[in-house]
Amino acid sequence: MAILPILTAPHPFLKKKAAPVTIFDAALAQTLRDMLDTMYDAKGIGLAAVQVGIGQRMLVMDVGEEDGGAHIIINPVITWLSEEMSSYNEGCLSVPTHYSDVVRPAEVKITYQDPTGAPHTLHARGLLSTCLQHEMDHLDGILFLDHLSSLKRTMILRKLVKKQKAGGALAL
């Protein structure tokens, strides 16, 4: 078990677009287990590889047992979004202590691969859908802050920078 350091906004790596995973080996499986350990340790419900400094298109989620417990998602591609929208008060392990309402499609369908490279599909609803879209945004360098007004985004980023300068409590 390894707990990986989580990058915090406005770290430039969080703005990078991640590359597809092409090698499905034991090292990849271990990295994904470490990501799950890191997510649980930080009391998060989702974590993208980008957030721990790995520029690959993969993420982990666990929004509860009723939604299937731990999900490991590699190379996800959206195949369908519902017209119905829903709003959720989102937070992010890379934007500690700040939360804001974000409106997204209520349901999403994706294709993805598991750690062996095998293809799967997932139809996500409710919190799982919100979490999945949030984590998939990370793969393209998008934070939930980017869905807010620029005024609100700037305000939150300024506070984060101030906090990071004040003390080393945040994981950089």
Catalytic positions: 135
The tokens of 142 are what?
């998008």
Residue type, 96: P
The residue at minimum Cβ distance from Ni ion is 92
Give 12's DSSP letter.
Answer: G
> Given the complex with Ni ion, which of 92 and 110 has the nearer CB atom?
92
Cα 141 to Cα 10: distance, rounded to the nearest angstrom: 11
Q: If binding is defined by CB under 5 A, does position 61 make contact with Ni ion?
A: no
- Region from 27-35, 63-71, 74-82, 85-93 binding Ni ion, contact rule CB under 5 A: 85-93
Residue 84 φ then ψ, to 5°: -65, 135
- Region from 24-32, 71-79, 90-98, 119-127 binding Ni ion, contact rule CB under 5 A: 90-98
Tell which one of 61, 72, 92, 136 touches Ni ion (CB under 5 A).
92
Tell me the closest approach of the beta carbon of residue 135 to Ni ion, in angstroms. Answer: 7
- Region from 30-38, 75-83, 86-94, 107-115 binding Ni ion, contact rule CB under 5 A: 86-94
Half-sphere exposure of 119 (CA within 13 A, CB side): 3
Burial class (CB within 10 angstroms; exposed 0-12, middle 13-18, buried 19+) of 85: exposed
> Given the complex with Ni ion, which of 27 and 97 has the nearer CB atom?
97
> Is residue 27 classed as helix, strand or coil in its secondary structure?
helix
Query: How many residues of this chain bind Ni ion (CB under 5 A)?
Result: 1
Binding site for Ni ion (CB under 5 A): 92
